[in-house]
Structure 1
């Protein structure tokens, strides 16, 4: 595998993961909970493992070839983001809920599933990896599938580094400040709503056009 391409992908991947979006909003929410951030972040990472594997083995391309399938994924993903955003905005305090998090009483498995939904149901993530991974595959050496699996794994590591940092920093900086935590929870909820509505708007424009 071409190490130059690997390094180039790593650098670009870090820059892309550093751009705030739904994953950031959910990671911030995980940090503002009293329980561990690990289940939520691991859920998001597991979702990206699924997406990257789908792209590497060709399932992602198959989905995009059928407009109905991609539209369905987009609508479901947008609806999920709207649900998380609405939940965040209607939470009573910043202690138990943020960016769609359930009350602290929810177990780690519930947070894991929610985190996985955030990354798996985000059509932007699928389309981004579909656009990027093939560009960094060398025609020599390993099979294209093997190379894309390695690149996908590197993307997951980038996500792990950034999202754990975001979650832990939000806990450290905002966990002891309920007022600031509540404000950040609302901002995270708005981010979810904006992205969800944006996806629905794009699909509506495509149908009208």
Structure 2
């Protein structure tokens, strides 16, 4: 079982990472701006299902290996911290790409197609993949039980946060299409601030203990 303190720390880190607009959020915002709330929510559900793929991969493929090697656990931590800092820098440099979500204007797609597209976006989101593979494991406690089960628990927490965050973004975008359209720079500002927050999380990860 994941210690409560570890679960709380992971939830806080996951919240910072997830709420920052990335591929999943941009996809949901684009759907909301182009097709409304329903299309956005369906797309969010598809993306969340896709994000479960790397969670399962971490639980099945890394649990036993990391449980047996403190060195590998440290390597994973360092890689995760480095990637988060890199991700934060890139978010600041590429914040203008958030405005691309405003350009979605294709015809209303079928529900199955929206779910499929959302699944692909979620499963191939590099931020999600690296977060689960390189950041999630450090919040587990080897002494508290089987790591695969802990990874699944932490992954479920992250997926719940992702659903709430992406749904909120989608609902806001669907409700305030005109507000977003008047000033894409508002999204750019969010991206820049988010980049600084991600860098802060990465630095915290690098300076934290292995447990």
Structure-1-length-normalised TM-score: 0.63
Aligned in 2, Cα 1:47/1:168: closer, same or farther, shift over 3 Å? Answer: same
Using a 3 Å threshold, how does the CA distance of structure 1 residues 137 and 172 change in structure 2: closer, same or farther?
Answer: same
Give 1:39's aligned residue.
42
**1:2-42 Cα deviation digits (max 9, x unpaired):** 11000000001000112221122111112121361221000
Name the structure where helix makes up a greater proportion of residues. Answer: 2
Alignment of 1:99-138 (within 5 A): 102-104=106-108, 106-138=109-141
| TM alignment of 1:79-118, pairs within 5 A | 98=104, 102-104=106-108, 106-118=109-121
Partner of 1:145: 148
Which residue number in structure 2 is paired with residue 205 of structure 1?
none
Q: CA deviation at 1:61?
A: 11
Q: 1:7 to 1:28 in 2, by over 3 A?
A: same
Distance between the aligned counterparts of 1:171 and 1:147, measured in 2? 36
Aligned to 1:30: 31
Distance, in Å, in 2 between the alignment partners of 1:183 and 1:48 is 30
Match of 1:75 in 2: none
Instruction: Decide which of 159, 162, 170 is 2:173's aligned counterpart.
Output: 170
CA drift at 1:137: 1.1
- Counterpart contact for 1:52–1:149, Cα < 8 Å: yes
Provide the C-alpha distance between the structure 1 equivalents of 2:157 and 2:43, rounded to a whole number of angstroms. Answer: 19
TM-score relative to the length of structure 2:
0.62
Alignment of 1:191-206 (within 5 A): none
Contact 1:54-1:60 within 8 A present in 2 as well:
no
Q: Which region of structure 1 is more displaced relative to structure 2, 28-37 or 143-152?
A: 28-37
Task: Compute the displacement of 1:145 (Å).
Answer: 0.2
**Paired residues, number:** 151
CA distance in 1, matches of 2:162, 2:139: 18
SS in structure 2 at match of 1:39: helix
Q: Is the 8 A contact 1:60 1:126 kept in 2?
A: no
* Equivalent in the alignment of 1:156: 159
8 A contact 2:63–2:148 mirrored in 1: no
Unaligned runs of 5+ in 1: 63-84, 192-209
Q: CA deviation at 1:141?
A: 3.2
TM-superposed CA distance for 1:136, in Å, is 1.0
